[in-house]
A and B are shown apart, each in its own frame.
Chain A
Amino acid sequence: MRFLKTALITSGVLFAGTALHAADLTVTVTGLETPGGTISVGVMDGAEGFPNKRKALTGKRVENAVAGSNSFTIGGLSAGRYAIAGWYDENTNGKFDTNLMGMPNEPYGFSNDARGSFGPPSFEDASFVVGEENLSITFQMAK
């Protein structure tokens, strides 16, 4: 899953150019059936190449997730439209496991709980607007 690998790499990187009025985004991921895995999410700011060919602007990795819901904060988002793509590495093998045809075998989710048909949703369906205020969003991860 290229889009998720990108998200993963970017999430470890400090990103420069913090805007003057940066908002904090509190993300709550729900629906995890098993504890102990790793949540990875990437934040993307445009439709082009979304989600697999687009580099994530920023992201987050949460190890040792608990079953049910997990919350974390992604800081420093300037005002704009974003979408989040995420997956749950249930067996912590560092891979987004899929079947032979590329359909996920591990839970995944997008902001707005957007789901595609036999593929990812569009940026439009998954996107939300960040203003100058801090914001909380919740989405589910499922297979």
Chain B
Amino acid sequence: MDRRQLLQGFALSLAAGMVTGSPVLAAGDNWKEDFTRALKQKPWLLGYKGVDQNFKKTNLKIDGKLPENLKGIFYRNGPARHEVGDLRYRHWFDGDGMIHAFNFDGESVTHHGRFVDTIKTEKETEAGRALFQTFGTAGSSLTSGCSADEVNVANISVIKHNGELLALWEGGSAYRLDGETLETLGLKTWTEETAGLPFSAHPRVDQDGTLWNFGYAPIFGALIVYRISPTGQLIDRALVQKPATPMVHDFLITENHLILILPPYHFDNASEGAFVDRFNWSPEKGGRALIIDKNNLAAQHEIELPPFWVFHFANAFEDSSGDICFDAPIYQTPDVMTSSFREIMRGNEVGSDSAQLMKCRLNPLTGNFDMTEIEEAVASEFPRIDQRMQGRRHRFTAVMRGQEGAAYKGINQLMSIDHQQQTTESYTFPATEMAEEHVFVPDPDSIEEGKGWLMGTSLDYKRGKSALNLFDAQRVSDGPVARMEMDYAIPLGLHGNFYSS
């Protein structure tokens, strides 16, 4: 396929029209029934059941003591509507996104949750059935959509930049939301030339408030990099031609560089079916690190890496020798995504590799790369840091830990790693709880890294109740200092952020 022709757009070689997809939706395959049956046997599947209604604002009961200076809103996104009409989605990442807001005013905590009103939702609600292929679901009754934003489910993360709340997916635009009511305001268009282009769910805020992000656009054989000013203006962007585009979920920034880790998991433009099924895992081809000069986005070079899969990075920094150092939960293969998080949607438990938290070191000049295990942090995910250390040497990383090989069963431990002291602290949640990402919230009265709290949700599947937990970030093993329980369960989600008021 001629790439230039592809990028002239519209006149694409995908001109054949609707892609009808793989026979995933075979007759007699009833995932909805399978899941309902499995849920009776395995109550922990509650986290994957999904909801169809918004959550009205309610006051949460507070167990423990809230810090008086903790004021602001914790927003969290995640796939929440797993069934549309008769269809139950075939992948955890498919569902329509719902934003949750937990509001701390210094005395009380409220919760409300609201679906993002996407173009997709509007069309499917009107039709009364599922219309579009998703990340992991295809079939003859579903079309692939005309554009990325027609199938945008806005379900991965939520950030606030320049006062604007944005629900993030990774295949299309961000959606603008009202920070108080969570009402959807429309698609975020930075500039006309980037309208509708992929904007990943893991932008990074630099020391000066610059928002860096990227997007991968496999149908167009390209990656895009965004530089957005603290006041929300797109001030630079770069296209990286990349036929057989790899799937890239997160990236890294340092003082001088942007680093995109490109796993050997490549899009095949000639294939059909659900998005995730159109990628091929080719470990023999090895991975790459794409290193871009922050001050000259055209200055790009690549370094060969061993093959591995990764969703998330904690943080990166440059040490005195010029090495780029980062830590991340690393997988041998993307099986957790291609298999476990698919099968769980019909209640099947399919084991897969767990991610091991690794310290990686990459020399941008020599291309040397090595990685070492942080031994205690097996089966880790959702790494977070004190955001104030973004792109600088950080002392602490917080991760969530699960049972090895059983990511689908969720997470039962919060672990804080002190890279300086080489120690860890952890808290294990009660046996009937599945925990989710916990984010670092800085203590507004301290500038010291790690002074603050770790905040995140968990689901007590036995009692059918979710809770928001608050830990002293430096005394994780003491357990939560405060816990705000809901009278209901909210679906297991992905990423969130706290913004102080």
* Chain A interface residues (CB < 8 Å from chain B): 1-3, 50, 52-53, 97-105, 114-122, 125, 143
Contact = CB atoms under 8 A, between A and B. Distances in A.
B8 A105 contact: no
Interface stretch (B23-31, B52-60, B219-227, B493-501): B219-227
B197 A114 contact: no
Given A99-B197, A105-B192, A117-B17, A52 B10 contact: yes
Given A3-B11, A52-B11, A102-B10, A117 B18 contact: yes
Interface string B175-200: 00000000000000000111111000
Categorize the interface residue count of chain B. 20 to 34
Given A99-B193, A100-B224, A101-B220, A118 B7 contact: no
B146 to A, nearest CB: 5
Contact of A119 (B12, B143, B197, B224): B12
Nearest to A116: B17
6 contacts: A99-B195, A100-B197, A102-B8, A103-B10, A118-B14, A122-B15
A119 B14 contact: yes
B145 A102 contact: no
Contacts of B143: 117
B324 interface: no
A118 B11 CA distance: 9
A120 B217 contact: no
A99 B18 CA distance: 21
Given A2-B11, A117-B146, A99 B196 contact: yes
B21 to A, nearest CB: 11
A119 B10 contact: yes
A1 B9 CA distance: 8
A118 B12 contact: yes
B193 A100 contact: yes
Contacts of B19: 117
A80 to B, nearest CB: 21
A103 B196 contact: yes
Contacts of B213: none
Interface in B229-247: 237, 239
B239 A122 contact: no
Contacts of B146: 115-118
B15 A116 contact: yes
Given A98-B9, A101-B9, 15 more contacts: A2-B11, A100-B7, A100-B239, A101-B7, A102-B10, A116-B18, A118-B147, A118-B219, A119-B11, A119-B13, A120-B10, A120-B11, A120-B12, A120-B15, A122-B17
A102 B195 contact: no
A105 B145 CA distance: 16
Given A100-B239, A115-B146, A117-B145, A122 B197 contact: no
B301 to A, nearest CB: 22
Contacts of B14: 116-119
Nearest to A124: B17
A131 B192 CA distance: 42
A103 B220 CA distance: 10
A116 B147 CA distance: 9
Name the residue in A97, A99, A104 with the highest tally of chain B Cβ atoms < 10 Å from its Cβ.
A99
Contacts of A118: 12, 14, 144, 146-148, 219-220
A122 B16 contact: yes
Nearest to B144: A117
Nearest to B20: A117
A102 B7 contact: yes
- List of 9 A-B pairs having minimum Cβ-Cβ separation, nearest first: A102-B9, A119-B12, A52-B11, A101-B220, A117-B144, A119-B14, A115-B146, A122-B17, A121-B17
Contacts of B194: 99-100
B326 to A, nearest CB: 29
Contact of A102 (B12, B15, B16, B192): B12
Contacts of A97: 192
Nearest to A123: B15
A100 to B, nearest CB: 5
A120 B9 CA distance: 10
Contact of B11 (A1, A100, A121): A1
Contacts of A103: 9-10, 147, 195-197
Contacts of B18: 115-117
Nearest to A119: B12
